[in-house]
Amino acid sequence: MKSGFLVIIIGIIMFASGLVMFYSIELGQTNLFLRLIKNIGTFIGFVGMGVTLAGILLNLISKGKRPIQENFDV
């Protein structure tokens, strides 16, 4: 498995876990621990989006170009 696909998978997992952490806690919580989990979920979600984008770019950059084959039929 190429490293780009692995980074994409890790980024998707981070983004999904950030969504779960953010949306599992109700808005307007007064408990400090629950607000901290909600804020951490926001951070992990944003970082997951960045890691996914980095994996896509890494995958596109690491694709090898096909060599140019020139046929000189005279």
Residue 38 burial (C-beta neighbours within 10 Å; 0-12, 13-18, 19+): middle
Question: Which has more confidence, 73 or 43?
Answer: 43
What pLDDT score does 73 carry? 65
Determine phi and psi for 31, rounding to 5 degrees: -70, 125
Q: What is the pTM of this model?
A: 0.77
Cβ distance 71 to 17 under 8 Å? no
What pLDDT score does 66 carry? 73
Q: How confident is the model at residue 7 (pLDDT cuts 50, 70, 90)?
A: very high
Cβ distance 48 to 18 under 8 Å? yes
- How far is the first Cα of the chain from the last one, in angstroms, to the nearest whole number? 43
**Model confidence over 20-57: pLDDT tens digits?**
999 998 887 788 998 999 999 999 999 999 999 999 99
